[in-house]
Chains A and B, each alone.
Chain A
Amino acid sequence: MDCGDVNRLMEPYLDRQLNALSIEQIKAHLTSCEACRRRWGGLIELLANPAPVAVPEGLAERILVAWETRQAERADSPRRVAASAAWARRFRLVHYAGAIAACVLFFVTGWLFSGWWRQPAAGVTEGTGTAPTITVMVSPWVLSSMAQAAAMPAPVNPAVMLASGVVPEMMVPAPAESRPVRYFERPSGVSTTQPAETDPARNLQLLPMLPPRYLGA
């Protein structure tokens, strides 16, 4: 084996891919050839005999302490989980109670401000006995609200008005000349068999539930 063979086989040699015979031949050549020893000796020595590493003092103990600590934490964690679960259950109860209280408060407040005292519901007759006395403490803000509510006109039921013959103004077709300009006029060439503008009864067909006698017939 010559220097060229050694150069060629050195990579497989370092990769441990050579057979024992080739390894022995390379070693023998390196022993005898000064040039090849200078070329390869340092690298072979470096890779074959790495300098030993000194483990820092106390590292093993620190690792074991860390492991003990982690195990203790793991052993402790189920208790903590159980405690937090109990707290969660308690808080859930508090949440439910709070939600119920909020609902009750909401409905009671709505009932108090619904104006139930202004007029009795239909069908309720005056009793002859002594009404129970209810004392309600109200704030000035509530009093002013109550005064405003009392000053408002009574609600209007359009069905009652129509039934009594009063047709709301908005249902009566306005005179043609006073109507606002429409921007969607039909083309002049298109004839309509029944112009809606001249037939008030057609507009009043919007209220089919009304008897004909109320439509001016």
Chain B
Amino acid sequence: MRGTAVRDGQHNLGEPGAGPSDQELVDAARKGDRGAYATLVNRHLRSVYSVALRVLGQPAEAEDVSQDTFLRAFERLDLFDDSRSFRNWLLKIASNLAINRIRSRGRERRLQLKLVECDERGGGGEADDVPGPSEWAHWLAQIDDMQRAAIVLFHFHEMPYTEIAEVLQVPVNTVRTYLYRGRKRLRELMTGESVSENGAWTAAM
């Protein structure tokens, strides 16, 4: 699982031939099958950890959130709606926990430093073939927490607007605003230019 360049949003969704589906594993876990729990963790940990790290920016907090996510999900397995995606359910729990952490700690500048640090540390490791891991973390760390959360959930984990709105506890239109402003800020950071409200470039190209 580690070191693969598989996009986080395209993990095993229970297709035939790739082992038991999520639904089968959930059913087995409800009956107390320990192996089912382990398989579910191994299958979805990467997505859950990615959401937590990208939203929070701190590996230690992301690990805590990942653990809390699985514990909470397993404890409430009976409440899981079988007609929905187990992975999306997990990501929703992880996002909620991460957003709660952001709200509790407030806006702290040290987040940026931590995020850059961790990425520089991990940048020389397994992901050498993927360009610019520290770069995206650097850009993402500089935008507003809620805007970053919306961008991470929408673009990196393909969560729909409505679910992002539920996670962030804001109206759907606010999610659109977060996305727009976050992307605008990213463009400004990446190009060093200021962008007007209508998206036009104000500086000479």
Q: Which residues of A contact B (CB under 8 A)?
A: 7-8, 10-11, 14-15, 35, 38-39, 42-43, 46-56, 59-60, 62-64, 66-68, 70
Contact = CB atoms under 8 A, between A and B. Distances in A.
B3 A54 contact: yes
B79 interface: no
Between B3, B127, B155, the greatest number of chain A beta carbons within 10 A of the residue's beta carbon is seen for: B155
B67 interface: yes
B179 A15 contact: yes
A46 B204 CA distance: 23
A60 B70 CA distance: 10
Contacts of A51: 127, 130, 132-133, 135-137
A46 B38 contact: no
Contacts, number: 108
Contact of B186 (A8, A46, A56, A63): A46
Interface in B171-205: 176, 179-180, 183, 186-187, 190-191, 199-201, 205
B68 to A, nearest CB: 9
A167 B93 CA distance: 91
B81 to A, nearest CB: 21
A54 B54 CA distance: 12
B4 A52 contact: yes
A67 B32 CA distance: 12
A50 B70 contact: no
Contacts of B191: 38-39, 42
9 contacts: A7-B199, A43-B187, A46-B186, A47-B183, A50-B8, A51-B135, A51-B136, A52-B7, A67-B37
Given A47-B151, A51-B127, A64 B41 contact: yes
Given A14-B183, A39-B201, A46 B49 contact: no
Interface of B: 1-8, 34, 37-38, 41-42, 45-46, 49-50, 53-54, 59, 63, 66-67, 70-71, 74-75, 122, 125-127, 130, 132-133, 135-137, 139, 151, 155-156, 176, 179-180, 183, 186-187, 190-191, 199-201, 205
Given A11-B199, A67-B70, A55 B1 contact: yes
A159 to B, nearest CB: 78
A63 B3 contact: no
A65 to B, nearest CB: 10
8 closest Cβ pairs, A-B complex: A51-B133, A53-B50, A47-B155, A42-B190, A50-B156, A63-B67, A63-B70, A55-B49
A67 to B, nearest CB: 6
B136 A46 contact: yes
Nearest to B158: A16
B54 A64 contact: no
B76 to A, nearest CB: 13
Given A51-B132, A68-B34, 11 more contacts: A39-B191, A39-B205, A42-B187, A43-B187, A51-B130, A52-B7, A54-B127, A55-B49, A56-B49, A64-B37, A66-B67
Contacts of B59: 56
Nearest to B155: A47
Nearest to A42: B190
Nearest to A4: B200
B43 to A, nearest CB: 10
A43 B186 contact: yes
